[in-house]
Amino acid sequence: MPPVVRFAPSPTGFLHIGNVHTALFNWLFARHEGGEFRLRIENTDTSREVAEATEQIQESLRWLGLEWDGPVTFQLDRMDRCREEAHRLVAQGKAYEDEGAIRIRMPDDGTTAWDDLVRGPIEYPNEKLEDLVAIRSDGRPTYNFASPVEDWLDGITHIIRGDDHISNTPKQIRILEALGAPPPEYAHVSHILGPDGATLSKRHGSVSVEDFRAAGYIPEALTNYLALLGWSYDDRTEIMTVSELVERFTLERVGASPAVFDYQKLEHFNGVHLRALPPGEYAERLVGYLREQAYEWDEELVRRAAPLVQEKISTLAQFPGFAGFLFGEVDPDPALLDREVLERAAAALEGVEPFDAEGIEQALRALADELGTSPRRAFQPIRVAVTGSKVSPGLFESLELLGKDRALSRLASAGAVAA
């Protein structure tokens, strides 16, 4: 029977990357096994529900490519059923009323055990299990009752979740037992830590999908990197496509030790995945990103500039700093300019027609020979004058994209302020 798994976040804010990690492992397991991946919004606590956060969770999963099967379900919609089941358990003597609430009877001796698919056999002494509140005195079901009830109703076969839920598992197993429902198999994956060994939080940097998206990361890189936090295919393979991850993912290779989030390594992964995109798709991703970030730049010029940066930047967010000179004015450092070089460069470029990278290169290399200096030394003040920086895309291609009029204007302006 194909597995059925679920991702069940609470709508309390933006989707944290630790929750995404759990969702990804569920999704990869389901897709590898030919099963189903369900999305449930655990909104039993209505005071914390935020409609915007619910939509954001869905949008984040869509952006990552973690599409779910069937409709999104909301725990709030099953509150009546939860109350019915609790009253059934009272009638059967498996639960009792206590000051307006309903509590589930827990065993007093023995152990509750399960064979965790990540951590192996786990036993919990029943003497530590207090009779669980299933329905509060105000009629609202608790998380630890509603969640297993929904797992039962949805036919969930495997629960893959964070290790902070280990303490909830014996309670939920006992609830399912009382309901007469077969317990699913459990797999508890480790938390993601920051570089300092503490749980990953905003003080370490980006922590939500929205953060990483705004920072110019692409979903292929983020899912590839997250998959390797606590799981490995072998001891050498790191860069993988989504289809390769689906093909290779198994719970047997998920480790129990916490994984440390390395922002530099993620950036490296992102650069690799960006460079692997076909040029046309890369340009469209760049245009789409800039549009999302409210840059009102000439999109055709962005597409023309894309090939100049694809091999040089590792996040889409680096594009404005690297190629922004094409879309706005620059303020070159006078100390890095050379008036004679700039004046002679302007004269050399004046006669280049058509004004393309090939003709520009011939003219500027000839100028370097005339000046009796290396091309690198001759080109630096020109680069600074037209781009505002010592680091930029290819000089000749940059000048072509600027166009002759803008290029000559910048050389003239820079020459006037050269030290």
- Tell me the catalytic residues: 202
* Helix (H/G/I), strand (E/B), else coil: 287: helix
Torsion of CA 370, 374, 379, 384, to 10 degrees: -130
Burial of 349 (0-12, 13-18, 19+ CB in 10 A): buried
DSSP-based three-state secondary structure for 46: helix
Residues 6+ apart with CB under 8 A from 389: 325, 330, 383
- How many other C-beta atoms are found inside a 10 Å radius of the C-beta of residue 103? 20
How far lies 197's CA from each of 17, 50, 200, 259, in Å?
16, 31, 8, 9
Q: Tokens in use for 13?
A: 């804010």
Cα 348 from Cα 364, distance rounded (Å): 7
Closest CA to 333 of 373, 380, 394: 380
Identify the sign of the CA torsion 78, 79, 82, 87. Answer: negative
